[in-house]
Amino acid sequence: MCRIVFLLAVISILCPSAEALDNGLALKPSMGWLHWERFLCNTNCDTDPNNCISESLYMQMADVMVEEGWKEAGYEYVCIDDCWPSTQRDAQGRLQADPKRFPGGIKKLADYIHAKGLKLGIYGDVGKTTCAGYPGSLGYYETDAQTFADWGVDLLKFDGCFMNWTLLGEGYMNMSKALNQTGKSILYSCEWPLYEWAFHKPNYTAIRETCNHWRNFDDVYDSWTSVKSILNWTTFYQDIIVPSAGPGGWNDPDMLVIGNFGLSHDQQETQMALWAIMAAPLLMSNDLRNICPRSKMLLQNSRIIEISQDPLGKQGYCTAKMDSFEVWERPLSKNRLAVAVLNKQEIGGARGFAVRLIPGWKICNPQCNVTQILPQYKEMGVQTQRSSIVLSVNPTGTALLTVTPISSYYKKLYKLYWKPMSIKQNTIL
Ligand code: GLA
Percent of the chain whose pLDDT exceeds 90? 90
Distance CA 244, CA 329 (A): 17
Full-prediction pTM beyond 0.75?
yes
pLDDT at residue 421 tops 70: no
100 three-state secondary structure: coil
Least Cα distance to 107 among 71, 36, 66, 55 occurs for 55
- pLDDT for 259-287, tens place per residue? 999 999 999 999 999 999 999 999 999 99
Q: Residue range 38-46: average pLDDT?
A: 98
Q: Number of C-alpha atoms within 13 angstroms, CB side, residue 194?
A: 21
Give pLDDT tens digits for 56-109. 999 999 999 999 999 999 999 999 999 999 999 999 999 999 999 999 999 999
**Dist CA 245 CA 224 (whole Å):** 25
Task: Assess whether pLDDT exceeds 60 at residue 15.
Answer: no
Report whether pLDDT(371) > 80.
yes
112/167 Cα distance (integer angstroms): 37
Domains in the chain (CATH in brackets) are 4-12+315-428 (2.60.40.1180), 31-308 (3.20.20.70)
Is 24's pLDDT higher than 90? Answer: yes
- Taking only Cα atoms into account, the Rg of the chain, rounded to an integer number of angstroms, comes to 23
- Cβ contacts of 429 within 8 Å, gap of 6 or more: none
Q: Which residues have CB under 8 Å from 253's CB, separation 6+?
A: 215, 216, 217, 220, 230, 234, 275, 278, 280
- Sign for the CA dihedral angle at 349, 350, 353, 358 comes to positive
pLDDT band at 329 (very low <50, low <70, confident <90, very high): very high
413 pLDDT exceeds 60? Answer: no
Dist. CA 285–CA 34, nearest whole Å: 5
Instruction: Please tell me the distance between residue 164's alpha carbon and the centre of ligand 1 in angstroms.
Output: 17
Ligand 1 atom nearest to 123, measured from its CA: 10
pLDDT (tens digit, 9 = 90+) per residue, 133-185?
999 999 999 999 999 999 999 999 999 999 999 999 999 999 999 999 999 99
Mutating to test ligand 1, I would choose from 37, 43, 82 the residue with most ligand atoms within 8 A of its C-beta, which is: 82
**19 compared with 128, residue with greater pLDDT:** 128
Tell which atom from ligand 1 comes closest to the C-alpha of 131: 12
Residue owning the nearest CA to atom 8 of ligand 1: 219
Is the pLDDT at 4 greater than 50? The verdict is no
Confidence of residue 427 (pLDDT cuts 50, 70, 90): very low
Let me know if 254 is a catalytic residue. Answer: no
Share of the chain above pLDDT 70, in %: 91
- 103 CA distance to ligand 1 middle (Å): 24
What local confidence, expressed as pLDDT, does residue 18 receive?
Answer: 77
pLDDT given for residue 20 in this prediction: 94
In sequence order, what are the residues at sequence separation of 6 or more whose Cβ sits closer than 8 angstroms to the Cβ of residue 380? Answer: 370, 371, 372, 389, 401
Number of C-alpha atoms within 13 angstroms, CB side, residue 309?
14
Give 202-242 pLDDT, tens digit per residue: 999 999 999 999 999 999 999 999 999 999 999 999 999 99
Ligand 1 pocket at CB < 6 A: 36, 81-82, 130-132, 159, 191, 219
For residue 40, the CA-to-ligand 1 centroid distance in Å is 9
Distance 308 CA to ligand 1 centre (A): 24
- pLDDT tens-digit map of 395-407: 999 999 999 999 7
Nearest alpha carbon to residue 13 among 310, 249, 312, 309: 312
Neighbours of 384 (CB within 10 A): 14
Give the pLDDT mean for 377-382.
97
159 noted as active-site residue: yes
Q: At what angle do helices 265-277 and 224-241 cross, to 10 degrees?
A: 10
User: Does residue 375 surpass a pLDDT of 50?
Assistant: yes
3-state secondary structure of 325: strand
* pLDDT at residue 422 in the model: 34
Average of per-residue pLDDT values in the chain: 93
Asked if pLDDT for residue 410 goes beyond 70, the answer is no
